[in-house]
Structure 1
Amino acid sequence: MPSCLSVALPVLLWSTCVLAAPLDVGGKGEGILRMEVGPEHPGVRPIRIGAGVSTTLLFDSDIVPDQVSLEGRAQFSRVSMGSAVVVLIPSDDLRQGEVLKLSIPFKDTTLPPRVVLTLQVQADAVDRQVEVYRRARSAESYRQEVGQLRAELERLRQERKQPPAAAPGVDGFRGLLAGSTAFPGLTVRRELGAMRCVAPCPLRIDVGALFVSGQRRALRLSLRSADKEPWRVGRAVLVDAQGHEWESLTPVQSALLTVRSAASVIVEFEMPADISVGPYSLRLWDTAGKRVAQFGDVPLD
């Protein structure tokens, strides 16, 4: 069988994913599935199996049959293995849509030493034959890559130890608010009124100001956390009444937001000069993208 191409994988991570090549389908969805296994890409879809129908998996490397692990093995009418082949015949005990894992270890010393395949019960479409090609790679190539990763991590650690430059700070913002605290070149500067918070409200605005110059609009907000968890804003989006969205430049924050301590956050947007009067809403996500705060009635004129 044809050999497989190498892929990158840190040597400490032996878990693998599956990349399925285009499917040659014959008959009623029953055909040949050819897939390359390796750590670089997620699987396109699981291998489809069906009650009473055999699925044969052919490998381009010898496997270790007595170390093969099949989830729910008792629910299969037959499981047969050879030096480079596995035959599965599910029983009627398996439910439609049920997902199982099949772990295959290989005999040789190249990496990855084991792959984990996903099986899914599909009565109306079965992969009768699956050809599995392993993207093998030597341990030495992994050691070289790990060395490169360690060097890169050390470089990043050294950078974090350096004093921050002016650009990341609020007063050193490189966008609309660049320059002195007098904000030269701004055509509009106004204090923001109350902006309605859409529950739940993980953030609270103490004060705010709007700055406008041409197509640029920036909101400078004094925020604090309201959900007892520290916050660092990672993303901001403005949304108009028609659902149009404007993504901000990278938000700039003076300090971590806590319940007791407020911090300045600047979010800046490039928008058409003839935007509608409103209303607009502002959505703020934390850096993990798991928490979101939404404020309505945001004035941009």
Structure 2
Amino acid sequence: MAFPAMVSSRFGRVGAGESALLRPVAILSVLLGVAASAQPLPTARERQERRVALSGSPAEPVPELRVAAGVLTSLVFDVPLDRSSVELEGRERFRLVDVGERILALEPAVDLGPGERLGLRVRFAGSPAQDRGVFVLVSHAAQVDTRVEVFRRKDSVELLQAELMDTRAQLKAQTEELQALRALRDSGGPVGLIMSGMLDHWGIDANRIKIAKATNHAESLKLVGGTTFRASTWAAISVEVRSTGKNAWAPSSARVVHTKSGTVLNVLGVRLVFPRVEPNEAGLVVIETEVPSWLPGETCLLELLDSNGASQVLIPGIAF
């Protein structure tokens, strides 16, 4: 793998299990450098966790690791390291360099300068000398790596399994979000109406139904009140009916007819809040229709029918 030119003398070899602490001379130089530059404190960086897959092709770019002063960056490998062969450029500039069996921890004492790049080389236990991982340490103004999972090969089983788990987690999150949006849409509230497109800038035209005009063909039924609703994409009529008889009642169908032209409006459904209206109780009946072809405010009649098609309630002169 191609690697940027480095001065070999600047590489420091890290021993097994060693915590690389700055020497007194290095500490003094760092303090003097900070005092001389008098630079403002850096802004908080976003801490990230990610994966890196190594490639044996020289054409592939060298993976970059974003480090920052005072932040521990941990490299977690999928295979054991040759702990005695880790090489780090500018090792004396790091507060901590600790090599474990599969983990390499780094913490710079000061931030790298703009455009500065430090090399890191590792070898794997029981592997040929040429089989190694090469990285470049850089400083990023907005991001820093806190945990990097390093996979020796792009086609390793561990990497594919990790990516599969991520894909499943993303799919699960998207499915849950979609279900929440559908539940919100179908909730029947204002948000649901807006999200479904049933409520737009045209709003809803609502009119109260005049009770005095109603005719009750069934003596046990009495109209309590009602309202018509008309929007740009839907329309409905709601009526409240009280049953004064001994038997429960429920309409099976409805007819909506334009008063002047006799045009019959297509009824999409007849629904009750409860399955039926019990004796001596009132129930709300909602008749969903297509949007009338006539102008808003023109009148029609509504007829509620039983299962035999017999008229139960007739309401003329409804502004719809």
Name the TM tier (shorter chain). 0.3 to 0.5
Larger Rg: 2
Higher helix share goes to which structure? 2
User: TM-score, normalised on structure 2?
Assistant: 0.34
